[in-house]
């Protein structure tokens, strides 16, 4: 995206996440979130009062608690009043908002966080409430069922088969052995069909977790982080509303977002894809033109831990952390929202040598 007036360089300078667990009954949302907020602040030496803008992503529907994000703000220390915003979306979109705020030049630093406590509810039922209320939601099609329709379409099209999907699951959870925060790692059985053709092994673990990121601009970023993960571009796009209008074997929105983010200008060495179901990785690899030389989901991805509303932000955080520690020079991070990869965000991150 050339030619933006006042364009600034913005980087991810810190990332933290909780251990992701099936349940966290002993913790309220703010109790779960606060340690990661403290961790990213400590990692940069910043205090709440130093942060120019705070933006969060979460959904009240997950735990059934109205305005839970206002209580989560207790963990930030929001008094005296801070400049703050919230999206009822994955935290990746909160990061997008914060990035735009930094690009305007209004602020030099931003705190972005997201959390999801799915254990109190039935996530498969909860996600039906985001669907078209006239023709789709009254049927209560759960998230696994919709993903299975997409998986079948991919198998019919010859893009994959059940053993290939099982291999995606195995590769992800093997990689997750190096991720201390993962909920599911190592050998996981393919399992029975949950909704055919998807088996339990093709589906993400259900669990609770939180993550936080700090963004900073220009020299502030260089001061806060030895090797900032510079955001070279970021864009998000959405598919047509109705599933029956879409070609479920492709993701034009992910491809367009990647193009607008500059992902195709040079090869990436790493891709963190938000693909909660094995079949969705097949779609994304194709749409994002990722070859076998790209290290896809070295963290294990959403198949290893899928705290809803945080899992997309974690993809950006994992990609950035890899750049921070010198394991990647140019990484693609992707986040998704909605059924069958309905909406897609792509960010391109780079480290300077």
Partner 1 sequence: MPEVLSAPLVVEFPFTRSLGPVQSAFLTGLRERTVLGVKTSRGQVLVPPVEYDPATAEEIRDLVEVAPTGTVTTWAWNPAPRRDQPLRTPFAWVLVRLDGADTALLHVLDAPGPDAVRTGMRVRVRWAAERAGAITDIACFEPYEGEPGAPAAPHDGRFADPVTGIVAPARLDYTYSPGRAPTDYLNALAERRTVGERCPSCRKVYVPPRGACPTCGIATAERVEVGPRGTVTTFCIVNIKARNLDIEVPYVYGHIALDGADLALHGRIGGIPYDQVRMGLRVEPVWTEGGRYPDHYRPTGEPDADYDAYKELI
H helix or E strand, kind and range, residue 55: strand 53-57
Taking CB under 8 A as the criterion, the residue among 61, 93, 96, 115 binding partner 1 is 61
Site membership for partner 1, residue 22 (CB under 8 A)? no
Taking CB under 8 A as the criterion, the residue among 40, 213, 243, 347 binding partner 1 is 243
Site membership for partner 1, residue 30 (CB under 8 A)? yes
**Residue closer to partner 1 (CB basis): 27 or 327:** 27
Stretch that binds partner 1, among 57-65, 94-102, 169-177, 225-233 (CB under 8 A): 57-65
Site membership for partner 1, residue 57 (CB under 8 A)? no
Report how far Cα 190 is from the mean position of its chain's Cα atoms. 24
Site membership for partner 1, residue 120 (CB under 8 A)? yes
Strand partners, 263: none
Measure the CA–CA gap between 314 and 320, rounded to whole angstroms.
Answer: 9
Taking CB under 8 A as the criterion, the residue among 19, 21, 43, 78 binding partner 1 is 78
**Residue closer to partner 1 (CB basis): 30 or 310:** 30
Taking CB under 8 A as the criterion, the residue among 7, 8, 22, 129 binding partner 1 is 129
We find the least distance from the C-beta atom of residue 75 to partner 1, in angstroms, to be 5
Torsion of CA 286, 289, 291, 295, to 10 degrees: -90
Measure the CA–CA gap between 200 and 208, rounded to whole angstroms.
Answer: 18
Taking CB under 8 A as the criterion, the residue among 46, 58, 112, 124 binding partner 1 is 124
Report how far Cα 193 is from the mean position of its chain's Cα atoms. 26
Measure the CA–CA gap between 205 and 200, rounded to whole angstroms.
Answer: 9
Touching partner 1, residues 134-153 (CB under 8 A): 134-142, 145-146, 148-153
Of 314, 272, 279, the closest CA to residue 295 belongs to: 272
Of 148, 219, 179, 159, the closest CA to residue 306 belongs to: 179
Contact 10, 183 (CB under 8 A): no
We find the least distance from the C-beta atom of residue 333 to partner 1, in angstroms, to be 27
Copy the structure tokens of residue 251.
């993701």
Strand partners, 56: 86, 113
Phi-psi region of 155 (alpha: psi -120 to 50; beta: other; left: phi over 0): alpha
Residues listed for the chain:
353
We find the least distance from the C-beta atom of residue 83 to partner 1, in angstroms, to be 15
Site membership for partner 1, residue 88 (CB under 8 A)? no
Of 276, 266, 275, the closest CA to residue 233 belongs to: 266
Site membership for partner 1, residue 45 (CB under 8 A)? no
**Residue closer to partner 1 (CB basis): 20 or 330:** 20
Residue 121 makes CB contacts below 8 A (sequence gap 6+) with: 61, 62, 63, 64
Taking CB under 8 A as the criterion, the residue among 46, 73, 103, 310 binding partner 1 is 73
Contact 115, 29 (CB under 8 A): yes
Site membership for partner 1, residue 158 (CB under 8 A)? no
We find the least distance from the C-beta atom of residue 61 to partner 1, in angstroms, to be 7
x/- track of binding to partner 1 for residues 197-216 (CB under 8 A): xx------------------
Chain contacts with partner 1 (rule: CB under 8 A): 25-31, 34, 37-38, 48, 61, 63-65, 71, 73-79, 120-122, 124-126, 129, 133-142, 145-146, 148-153, 156, 193, 195-198, 240-245, 248
């Amino acid at each position: 995206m050339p030619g933006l007036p006042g364009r600034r360089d913005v980087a991810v300078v810190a990332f933290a996440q909780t251990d992701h667990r099936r349940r966290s009954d002993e913790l309220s949302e703010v109790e779960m979130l606060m340690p990661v907020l403290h961790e990213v602040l400590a990692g940069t030496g910043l205090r709440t009062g130093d942060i120019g803008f705070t933006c969060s992503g979460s959904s009240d529907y997950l735990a059934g608690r109205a305005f839970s994000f206002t209580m989560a703000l207790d963990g930030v220390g929001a008094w005296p009043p801070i400049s703050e915003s919230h999206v009822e979306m994955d935290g990746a979109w909160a990061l997008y908002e914060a990035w735009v705020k930094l690009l305007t030049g209004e602020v030099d630093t931003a705190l972005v966080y997201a959390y999801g406590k799915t254990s109190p509810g039935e996530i498969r039922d909860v996600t039906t409430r985001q669907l078209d209320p006239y023709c789709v939601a009254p049927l209560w099609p759960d998230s696994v069922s919709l993903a299975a329709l997409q998986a079948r379409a991919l198998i019919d099209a010859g893009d994959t088969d059940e053993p290939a999907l099982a291999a995606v699951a195995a590769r992800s959870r093997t990689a997750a052995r190096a991720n201390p925060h993962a909920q599911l790692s190592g050998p996981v059985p393919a399992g029975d069909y949950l909704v055919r053709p998807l088996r339990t092994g093709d589906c993400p673990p259900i669990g609770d977790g939180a993550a936080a990121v700090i963004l900073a601009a220009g020299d502030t970023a260089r001061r806060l982080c030895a090797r900032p993960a510079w955001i070279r571009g970021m864009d998000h796009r959405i598919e047509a509303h109705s599933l029956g209008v879409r070609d479920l074997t492709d993701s034009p929105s992910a491809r367009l977002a990647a193009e607008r983010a500059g992902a195709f200008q040079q090869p990436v060495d790493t891709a963190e894809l938000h693909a909660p179901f094995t079949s969705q990785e097949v779609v994304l690899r194709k749409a994002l033109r990722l070859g076998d030389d790209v290290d896809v989901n070295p963290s294990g991805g959403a198949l290893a831990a899928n705290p809803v509303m945080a899992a997309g932000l974690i993809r950006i955080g994992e990609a950035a952390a890899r750049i921070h520690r010198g394991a990647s020079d140019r990484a693609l991070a992707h986040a998704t929202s909605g059924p069958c990869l309905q909406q897609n965000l792509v960010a391109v991150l780079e480290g300077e040598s």
